[in-house]
Amino acid sequence: MTTRKPMAAAALVAAIIGLAGCGSASQDTGSSVAPAPSTSSATAPSAKSSNATVMLMIKNYKYSGAESVSPGAKIMVMNEDSVNHTVTAENKSDFDVTVKAGESVTFTAPTKPGTYKYTCTFHPNMMGTLVVK
């Protein structure tokens, strides 16, 4: 009988440790999820400020994001493709940047309000529009 008590005690200790581990993992998951919404909500309003950096993504040979910005806003272009791309305005003096594969660059939006069409000089079928207001 004495051999069963240590085994039962060991099983009980293992169960308690296992439950304690689950409890702390649950708490960690809850705390890591909570900051995400505040980061997202902080990012959205900043896109309208000329001091904020707005994101323009390139993925699968398509532009996304940064459709409307304030005059002089900083625009960070992230290229998630495996080839180089450009973000080139119809009037190249407005903006013209090359973004290497897997990298990012930042440029300043025009200070004059208006609609600026742009394309990738390497892939002319890639087109986008930036509205500065």
β-pair partners for 119: 88, 127
Please tell me the predicted confidence (pLDDT) of residue 52. 76
What pLDDT score does 77 carry?
98
Residue 46 DSSP label: H
Per-residue confidence of the chain (133 residues) as pLDDT tens digits? 445 544 444 443 343 333 333 333 333 333 333 333 322 222 333 344 446 799 999 999 999 998 899 999 999 999 999 999 999 999 999 999 999 999 999 999 999 999 999 999 999 999 999 999 9
pLDDT at 61: 98
Whether pTM > 0.75 for this model: the answer is: no
In the chain, the DSSP E strands lie at: 53-59, 62-64, 68-69, 74-79, 85-89, 96-99, 104-108, 114-119, 127-132
**Which secondary-structure segment (H or E) carries 7?**
helix 4-33
